[in-house]
Amino acid sequence: MDLADGNDERAARAVRVVLALGCGVVAAVLGWALAADGSSAAGLATEVRAALPRSGVEHPVTAVLLNFRAFDTMLELAVLLVVAIATGATAAVGQIETRPDEMPAAPSSPLLESLVHDLVPFAILVGAYLLWVGAYAPGGAFQAGAMIAAAGVLAHFSPRFRPQVPDRWPTRGILVLGTAAFAFAALAALALTGVYFAYPVARAGAWILAIESAATASVAAALYVTFRAIMPADRLPDAQR
Amino acid sequence: MNGTTIFTVCGILLFAIGLYGALAARPLLRRILAANIMGNGVFMVLVAGAYLPADGGAATGDPVAHALVLTGIVVAVSATALGLQLVCRLHELASGDREPDP
């Protein structure tokens, strides 16, 4: 840690040069490995295309995420949930939930207010559109959730429109909703078709839409709650400090 | 030298730059950013590898790789958020001037 001495500084520079050389070697090896990779580049596109009619959606990426590799996506939602819990656990007390005595601080700029006022509903609408369009075009639960969370972040900066985060159980319910919907769907599919995560083919689209809606809510809530936990605590106006 | 090669090489360079940053930088925030750059390099290599030259119809991509990258982006964002929160907490505890509990 102590780099004050000239000797140490020179040593640190030498270490950095060695590190840079090492990283260059790593890059070279990676490039060589990828260039020497002789396997065919076909990937799994053919298999996905062949199975697409039975997936319930028309967009291959959504089909992979919500049907063919649904287990991965469930774990991805679990990662989001864990992060939301961990950031919330290390945040200051009262950082996430809206407290009853929380009063908006001095009004921010009118420009921000009008931007939030006009843009946030539109952003939520775009989020809903992304969720819906995921069935046959790029889009889906994660894009929609990110969009809605971004709307929440934007609104967060305006004291007048700052989203209210209800205390404890409602928030936790929304956070868990996506993972729970996935787990429930997996078990229900197991009961109905006998295979874990194999939705009934005829109604697969409806299953996917239901899971995606729950996932959207969870993704948006997890991202926004995490953001709220990280933001510096400015919840009390200066006069009350 | 087609597009795939260019993107793959750029991804590898991004990975190497991020690796160097993550190992050499002292500030924790810079390390987190460097790890993100590494991750973006990996995503770039994956997406470039997923590109399939047009075979008959329009050019497509391997949807499995795309889904993997999409998953990876979400996990990377989550990990970054967790790292940032831990860094914030570290600074808060280290500086000692925690705000008075209301």
pLDDT band at A237 (very low <50, low <70, confident <90, very high): very low
Q: Do A23 and B13 touch (CB under 8 A)?
A: no
Residue A208 predicted with pLDDT over 80: yes
**Residues B39/A44, Cβ–Cβ less than 8 Å:** no
Facing residues of B61 across strands?
B51
pLDDT band at A236 (very low <50, low <70, confident <90, very high): very low
**What is the rounded distance in angstroms from the CA atom of residue A193 to the CA atom of residue A197?**
9
The helix (H) or strand (E) run that includes residue A34 is: helix A6-36
- Give me the percent of chain A exceeding a pLDDT of 90: 29
Asked which of A14-28, A157-171, B36-50 is least confident by mean pLDDT, the reply is A157-171
Q: By the CB < 8 Å criterion, does A153 face chain B?
A: no
* Higher per-residue pLDDT: A44 or A190: A190
Amino acid, single-letter form, for residue A138: P
Asked which of A218-227, B58-67, B78-87 is least confident by mean pLDDT, the reply is B58-67
Of residues A78, A87, A197, the one with CA closest to residue B89: A87
Nearest by CB to residue B52, choosing from A43, A73, A241, is A43
Round the average pLDDT of chain B to a whole number and report it: 84
Chain B CA closest to residue A99: B102
- Residue A103: per-residue pLDDT: 56
- Give me the percent of chain A exceeding a pLDDT of 70: 86
Residue B2 predicted with pLDDT over 70: yes
**What is the rounded distance in angstroms from the CA atom of residue A23 to the CA atom of residue A60?**
36
Cβ neighbours for B79, distance < 8 A, ≥ 6 positions apart: A83
Residue A29 predicted with pLDDT over 50: yes
Contact list, A24 vs chain B (CB under 8 Å) = 16
- Residue A234: per-residue pLDDT: 54
Mean of the pLDDT values across residues A204-220?
90
Asked which of A4-8, A14-18, A124-128, B60-64 is least confident by mean pLDDT, the reply is A4-8
Cβ neighbours for A233, distance < 8 A, ≥ 6 positions apart: A92, A95, B99
Query: What does the pLDDT look like over A91-145, one tens digit per residue?
Result: 776 677 766 556 555 566 888 888 888 999 999 999 999 999 988 888 888 999 9
Asked which of A25-29, A68-72, A163-167, B73-77 is least confident by mean pLDDT, the reply is A163-167
From B5's Cα to the closest Cα of chain A, the distance in A is 9
**Residues B92/B30, Cβ–Cβ less than 8 Å:** no
Q: Do A230 and B102 touch (CB under 8 A)?
A: no
Amino acid, single-letter form, for residue B63: P
**What is the rounded distance in angstroms from the CA atom of residue A6 to the CA atom of residue B53?**
55
**Residues B15/A34, Cβ–Cβ less than 8 Å:** no
- Residue B56: per-residue pLDDT: 54
Cβ neighbours for B71, distance < 8 A, ≥ 6 positions apart: A65, A72, A73, A76
Round the average pLDDT of chain A to a whole number and report it: 83
- Residue A57: per-residue pLDDT: 85
pTM score of the predicted model? 0.82
State how beta strands B51-52 and B60-61 pair.
antiparallel
Chain B CA closest to residue A49: B63
Beta-carbon contacts below 8 Å between A and B: 118
- Residue A229: per-residue pLDDT: 85
- Residue A160: per-residue pLDDT: 77
Nearest by CB to residue B64, choosing from A43, A73, A223, is A43
**What is the rounded distance in angstroms from the CA atom of residue A238 to the CA atom of residue A241?**
5
The pair of structure tokens assigned to B84 is 């940032």
Query: What does the pLDDT look like over B59-80, one tens digit per residue?
Result: 577 888 888 999 999 899 999 9
From B89's Cα to the closest Cα of chain A, the distance in A is 7
From B81's Cα to the closest Cα of chain A, the distance in A is 7
- Residue B5: per-residue pLDDT: 85
Asked which of A82-96, A212-226, B34-48 is least confident by mean pLDDT, the reply is A82-96
pLDDT band at A235 (very low <50, low <70, confident <90, very high): very low
